[in-house]
């Protein structure tokens, strides 16, 4: 019976395996759910957002945005807010929330939690979660997918166990050291960026010295991705500005390839994109060639170095396994090793623990701490939140200048 006062709300633990698009559809079509909640359900997930982005690509406009703005110009947090507002306006009987707090900053997580608790008075919620502290108090019954069916179970939230990578093992040496690496890897001098008159970044002055590691933080929409894309050479916004990358002024004739070659890069979205048949060892070695997987026979030395990385990660037994068969945390550890095998002067990690549970995040963080402590590679860690256990000594926080907003400015804490 829809819209009674005593609605049951559900939580589904996806910390070990996410639900596929097909499984989400099956959940939405469950007869018992429609009977309990009402016939009209919606799915709030990245798959849904992707479908709207696809539609926008084909038709040139998006129904989620107002004033003709395009969804693709919105930050990840902004996109989520737009989708939720659009779905709530349709007054669904039930809403499937696929890890709704991913990619949201602390303030937005708190306000969304409040909003969803309120919504739970009139709408049945089914929350997919990975971190137990994210489960909404209203979700009291568990659901699990077993043998092609959704089954109601007791709700057990995972206990966090403390884990880390092999502390005894040293970071494997590079096969060949980078030459002519300047003392300043990145230097922004009073750089401002706007999109069509809309100011985003204001007067950013920031220097990353060789070997120093940074946590780049800021709320949704503050310009973290914009700043990063200027460092990786993917954005044209750096031209004509006082931006220096690896000792050269942006736009002074360097190629994007020359910049990228000095950078190791990992973002959590890569685990989905890298879905070929390559084995784990080849995947790590391919970082030396900036390819995905290996297309030539590796040398004995390359193989030995990849094996050292696997020992460090505690994954030696998976050397010959297909990358695609690994679990999410293992895939991320391997892709960080892939980014590191060439020992780049700069390692960029864009939200590397996004959508992991506490245990998985702790493993990734322990690897990052180890890399940063080595002092040979500068880590640039980007996220919108604090990360438990992360030991980076410098922080660039993007903050809003409240009076007369003209873009986010950089607040730097350095040690």
Ligand X SMILES: Nc1ncnc2c1ncn2[C@@H]1O[C@H](COP(=O)(O)OP(=O)(O)OP(=O)(O)O)[C@@H](O)[C@H]1O
* Sites of contact with ligand X (CB under 6 A): 73-78, 195, 200, 218, 220-226, 384
CA–CA gap between residue 218 and residue 358 (Å, rounded): 21
**68 or 320, CB closer to ligand X?**
68
Cβ 174 to ligand X, closest distance in Å? 31
Dihedrals φ, ψ of 264, to 5°? -100, 140
Q: Nearest Cα to 222, choosing from 100, 77, 85?
A: 77
Cβ 73 to ligand X, closest distance in Å? 3
**18 or 223, CB closer to ligand X?**
223
CA–CA gap between residue 320 and residue 291 (Å, rounded): 18
Cβ 196 to ligand X, closest distance in Å? 6
CA–CA gap between residue 264 and residue 368 (Å, rounded): 13
**302 or 387, CB closer to ligand X?**
387
**19 or 382, CB closer to ligand X?**
382
Cβ 267 to ligand X, closest distance in Å? 11
**15 or 226, CB closer to ligand X?**
226
Burial (CB < 10 A; 0-12, 13-18, 19+), residue 114, is exposed
CA–CA gap between residue 227 and residue 233 (Å, rounded): 10
CA 13 to chain centre: 19
Cβ 27 to ligand X, closest distance in Å? 27
Q: Which two tokens stand for residue 30?
A: 């469950």
**225 or 374, CB closer to ligand X?**
225
**181 or 397, CB closer to ligand X?**
397
Angle in degrees, CA 127, 132, 137, rounded to 5: 60
Q: Which two tokens stand for residue 165?
A: 């990578």
Helix (H) or strand (E) holding 131: none
Cβ 410 to ligand X, closest distance in Å? 13
Cβ 384 to ligand X, closest distance in Å? 5
Beta bridge partners of 251: none
């Amino acid at each position: 019976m829809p819209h009674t006062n005593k609605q049951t709300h559900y939580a589904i633990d996806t910390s070990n395996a996410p639900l596929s698009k097909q499984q989400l559809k099956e959940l939405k079509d469950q007869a018992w759910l429609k009977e309990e909640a009402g016939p009209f359900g919606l799915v709030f997930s990245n798959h849904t957002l992707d479908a709207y982005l696809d539609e926008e690509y084909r038709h040139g406009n998006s129904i989620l945005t107002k004033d003709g703005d395009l969804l693709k110009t919105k930050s990840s947090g902004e996109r989520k807010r737009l989708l939720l507002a659009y779905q709530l306006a349709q007054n669904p009987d039930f809403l499937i929330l696929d890890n709704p707090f991913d990619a949201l900053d602390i303030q937005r997580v708190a306000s969304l939690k409040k909003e969803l608790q309120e919504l739970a008075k009139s709408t049945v919620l089914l929350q997919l979660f990975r971190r137990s502290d994210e489960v909404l108090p209203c979700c009291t019954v568990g659901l699990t997918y077993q043998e092609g069916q959704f089954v109601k179970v007791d709700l057990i939230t995972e206990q966090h166990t403390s884990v880390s990578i092999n502390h005894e093992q040293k970071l494997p040496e590079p096969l060949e050291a980078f030459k002519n690496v300047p003392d300043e890897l990145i230097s922004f001098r009073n750089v401002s960026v706007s999109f069509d008159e809309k100011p985003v970044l204001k007067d950013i002055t920031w220097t990353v010295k060789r070997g120093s590691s940074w946590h780049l933080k800021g709320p949704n929409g503050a310009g973290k991705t914009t700043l990063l894309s200027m460092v990786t050479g993917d954005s044209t916004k750096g031209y004509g500005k006082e931006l220096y990358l690896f000792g050269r002024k942006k736009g002074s004739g360097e190629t994007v390839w020359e910049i990228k070659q000095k950078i190791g890069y990992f973002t959590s979205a890569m685990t989905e994109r890298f879905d070929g048949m390559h084995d784990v060892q080849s995947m790590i070695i391919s970082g030396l060639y900036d390819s995905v997987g290996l297309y030539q026979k590796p040398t004995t030395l390359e193989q030995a170095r990849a094996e050292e990385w696997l020992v460090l990660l505690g994954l030696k037994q998976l050397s010959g396994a297909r990358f695609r068969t690994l679990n999410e945390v293992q895939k991320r550890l391997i892709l960080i090793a892939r980014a590191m095998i060439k020992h780049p002067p700069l390692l960029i990690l864009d939200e590397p623990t996004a959508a992991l549970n506490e245990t998985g995040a702790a493993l990734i963080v322990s690897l990052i701490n180890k890399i940063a402590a080595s002092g040979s590679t500068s880590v640039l860690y980007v996220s919108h939140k604090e990360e438990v256990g992360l030991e980076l000594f410098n922080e660039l926080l993007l903050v809003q200048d409240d009076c007369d907003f003209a873009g986010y400015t950089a607040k730097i804490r350095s040690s």
